[in-house]
Amino acid sequence: MKLYFLIPEHDQKSRLVYCVQVIANILGYPWKMISVVDTECETGILISYSTDTSTFSSHRIPEINIYNSDQLYDLQSTQKDLQLFEYGGYTKPLLGKKRKVYSPDWKENKQFKYYHKSHCVVWLTEFDLFVNVFYHLSRFEEQGRRTAQETVTDHAASILSGNNQLNIPLVDVLISYFDQLIRLKIIESKQVALRVMNWPGGEESGVAFTHDIDLTRGVSFKKRFWKYSTAVIRKILGNREVLTKCRMEIKQQDDLVWSYPQLLDFYHRRKWKATFFFLAKKFEGFHYRYNIKSPKFQSLFENLKSDTHEIGLHSSLNAFAHKKRYAAEKRKLEQITGIKCAGLRQHYLRALYPGLWELAEGAHFTYDSSIGYNFQPGFRAGTSHPFLTYDWKRDQPLTLLEFPLSFFEYNVLTDSADMSSAWSIIHNIITHVLQFHGLLVILLHPSNLLQPVYRELWNYLIAEVDKQRMYVDTLSGLYKWFKFKEHIELSAEKKNNTEETWTIKKPVGLRIFSIEIIGEADLRIPTGVQIDKISDHKYTINTDKSKLDLLLYRR
């Protein structure tokens, strides 16, 4: 069983194709985009995107019709058409016109809201799925922003934040709704389908621990100079111990910031890998950061590389405003560390979109992880999944992958240091990431790790992660899995009334992945292939073979 997205050739524009690819890759079913209905799609599920349901009178009508509001290329108008949508206990703000179903022949299903006609198989959605997915992932919502500072701080201007929905991933909710329609159609038509699960070992979600290296001294140069000057004067006046005491106090404060021995030991014991983002510029204006050429940092880089952690670029404060700065800073970091730099996170998360994505791709980064708000945790782009980026100004897709940031210690812990509130926020975000099988991207600044309040937050977070089955890797490792998953091919080769054979082709280098069976069927495990059962319908496959056949028996 394959999904066939019926998109007429004159409608196959970049935005629509982009939305189909994003949604289909998250769902994991075999799929194909077609412009003409032919015999190939007769055994699959045909999905159309149309405003006119009266055209569904041919010999092959769609099983599912996604409502086309005609607003995908007129997104300015969508904000005027804000409505609420209820599904799975969520009430979500949706953009775009709403389908009006007047005919008494169309019935609203009570299981969850979609429409179906009594004498045919087509089901209708009442909202424009593609408009909502594109609006949030492309960050078209921020097209009125003029300054980078406004972008990261003014979260209240977001439609999701304004409706108190920033803590729930809207895009994931809508794709889950669409998935339920597909599953119901598969079961109703007594078909069988395979899908690639979101994580290699069938884990409930992924998690990436990331660290921005902002500070490496507990005492700034200005305070350091003042303390030393005062101590020297007092020593001249007769207090001989004051200078030694001053040095000890500064060293103690510096040691609290340099937490890498403890942090790397923690990861080593867990066998977890993390991503560390370093600034390549020593100065930001008059603010001195650190020197990555120093022996201290050279030693740190060697320790990170020996434990196979990832080193990424923490692009400087105003890099997004200077076209060549990303490439220059990337080149400098690579020369000093001796390894390629795949990803970046913008300092202070200050950037404009799609400008940052365009510049990052131009500097040959493979991913970015800057989407998040400084003072508000949650899902700024409406999703917990990594997604390919899009330049809505030039109306073309990009190859850069975005890893949206879920939260970091500053935006979950308020000035009042209310730990119970921070714990509730973290628990809520993790719950939604697990529910939609997304990715939890966590940021902790190492300079805070040894402070009691942040250490308590870190310990709670680790305890929450330990409760779940989560796939832990660096962002580069997750990027590699994302590309692998995208290129796994599933196809039903042979069928009869009692059994069917599915062929799986996987990329070279991929060994472990997981599949789910949808429909009433059992799997016969072939010889020479290690397949572990996760549940009644989910299996993890471990094999070196690039191609294998699976036999499914219909119940």
| pLDDT score at 494 | 72
| pLDDT score at 237 | 65
For 191-211, write each residue's pLDDT tens digit.
Answer: 899 999 999 999 999 999 999
At 226, is the pLDDT very low, low, confident or very high (cuts 50, 70, 90)? Answer: low
Q: Give me 291's structure tokens.
A: 């020197």
At 249, is the pLDDT very low, low, confident or very high (cuts 50, 70, 90)? Answer: low
Tell which wins on pLDDT, 79 or 469: 469
Q: What is the mean pLDDT of residues 431-453?
A: 94
For 444-485, write each residue's pLDDT tens digit.
Answer: 999 999 888 999 999 999 999 999 999 999 999 999 999 999
DSSP 260-280: HHHHHHHHHHHT---EEEE--
| pLDDT score at 274 | 98
How far is it, in rounded angstroms, from Cα 17 to Cα 20?
A: 5
How far is it, in rounded angstroms, from Cα 273 to Cα 279?
A: 20
Residues of the chain with pLDDT > 70, as a percent, come to 87
How far is it, in rounded angstroms, from Cα 192 to Cα 494?
A: 12
Q: What is the mean pLDDT of residues 210-227?
A: 72
Lowest mean pLDDT among 244-248, 432-436, 540-544: 244-248
Residues 397/388, Cβ–Cβ less than 8 Å: yes
Lowest mean pLDDT among 25-29, 135-139, 341-345, 413-417: 413-417
Peptide bond into 354 cis (omega under 30): yes
| pLDDT score at 188 | 85
Give the start-to-end residue ranges of the domains of the chain. 3-146+174-189, 205-215+259-481, 217-257, 487-554
Lowest mean pLDDT among 50-54, 386-390, 448-452: 50-54
Residues 6+ apart with CB under 8 A from 266: none
| pLDDT score at 89 | 80
* Partners of residue 312 on adjacent β-strands: 277
Lowest mean pLDDT among 28-37, 42-51, 126-135, 282-291: 282-291
Residues of the chain with pLDDT > 90, as a percent, come to 57
At 175, is the pLDDT very low, low, confident or very high (cuts 50, 70, 90)? Answer: very high
Burial of 383 (0-12, 13-18, 19+ CB in 10 A): buried
Number of other residues whose CB lies within 10 A of the CB of residue 20? 22
How far is it, in rounded angstroms, from Cα 439 to Cα 369?
A: 12
Q: What is the mean pLDDT of residues 317-344?
A: 93
| pLDDT score at 218 | 59
For 480-532, write each residue's pLDDT tens digit.
Answer: 999 999 999 999 877 777 888 999 999 999 999 999 999 988 898 887 889 99
Beta strands in 137-296 (DSSP E): 193-196, 205-213, 275-278, 283-284, 287-288
Number of other residues whose CB lies within 10 A of the CB of residue 328? 15
Residues 87/112, Cβ–Cβ less than 8 Å: yes
CATH number assigned to the domain with residue range 487-554, chosen from the 4 options 1.10.490, 3.30.450, 2.60.40, 3.30.1300: 2.60.40
- Chain-wide mean pLDDT for the chain? 87
Q: What is the mean pLDDT of residues 338-343?
A: 96
Lowest mean pLDDT among 29-33, 392-396, 433-437, 496-500: 496-500
| pLDDT score at 149 | 73
Tell which wins on pLDDT, 102 or 454: 454
Side-chain-facing half-sphere of 525: CA atoms under 13 Å: 13
| pLDDT score at 143 | 86
Identity of the residue numbered 247: R
CATH topology of domain 205-215+259-481: TIM Barrel (3.20.20)
At 316, is the pLDDT very low, low, confident or very high (cuts 50, 70, 90)? Answer: very high
Closest CA to 493 of 30, 15, 86, 25: 30
| pLDDT score at 502 | 92
| pLDDT score at 189 | 85
